[in-house]
Amino acid sequence: MRRAVFLDRDGVINKAILKNNKPFPPENIDQFVILENVHELLNKLSNNGYLLFIVTNQPDVSRGTQSQEKVEEIHNFIKISLPIEEIYVCFHDDHENCYCRKPKPGLLFQVEKYEIDYSNSFMIGDRWRDIGAGLAAGCHTILINYNYFENNHGFIAEKVVSNLSEAVDWILNSGDKND
């Protein structure tokens, strides 16, 4: 069994677009900005034996305010820029009640062929849906806390940090995941 780190996209890998202190995805590749040190941090995880996956909700496609082509253009850029195994996307909205939309764990379970040990894997996200999906999959959970104006819906992360660097340090340096 292999260890993995599941990463949300917007707010973890790239800069989220904030509107009224709520995060939104970039509308196109021109708005897409990879956060500082992400490449280096992902290489650290990869070099320590973790498989890296992006798991992202992109409901604006279902809502008709974003095209799937623009999302895929961003993902193609990520694939050539960062050491990511795969990117798994849910294009559905809440009313579609699909199994892949976080906080459900479906996106994390799409990696079957990699034989992942979820109990020794991590979900890093910046929103309650990410933490819910990680918990449902049986992963350790890390919240990058940007103090967004939203309810956590009762999902409490195992570790709260202020950036991806702190999350990576905790994964690599903490023998006791309960600190």
* Predicted confidence pLDDT, tens digits, the chain (179 residues): 999 999 999 999 999 999 998 999 999 999 999 999 999 999 999 999 999 999 999 999 999 999 999 999 999 999 999 999 999 999 999 999 999 999 999 999 999 999 999 999 999 999 999 999 999 999 999 999 999 988 889 999 999 999 999 999 999 997 544 44
**CA 57 to mean position of chain CA atoms:** 9
Residue 80's pLDDT is what? 97
- Considering the entire predicted model, what is its pTM? 0.95
The CATH class given to the 3-116+128-173 domain equals alpha beta
Contact 82, 74 (CB under 8 A): no
Tell me whether residue 176 is exposed, middle or buried, using C-beta atoms within 10 angstroms of its C-beta: 0 to 12, 13 to 18, 19 or more. exposed
Catalytic one of 8, 60, 126, 130: 8
DSSP structure class, residue 154: T
Catalytic, 60? Answer: no
In the three-class reduction of DSSP (H, G, I as helix; E, B as strand; rest coil), residue 86 is classed as: strand
CA angle at residue 110 from 107 to 116, to 5 degrees?
A: 110
- Catalytic entry in 10, 60, 126, 130: 10
**Active-site residue 126, yes or no?**
no
Please name the helix (run of DSSP H) or strand (run of DSSP E) that holds residue 3, with its range, or none.
strand 3-7
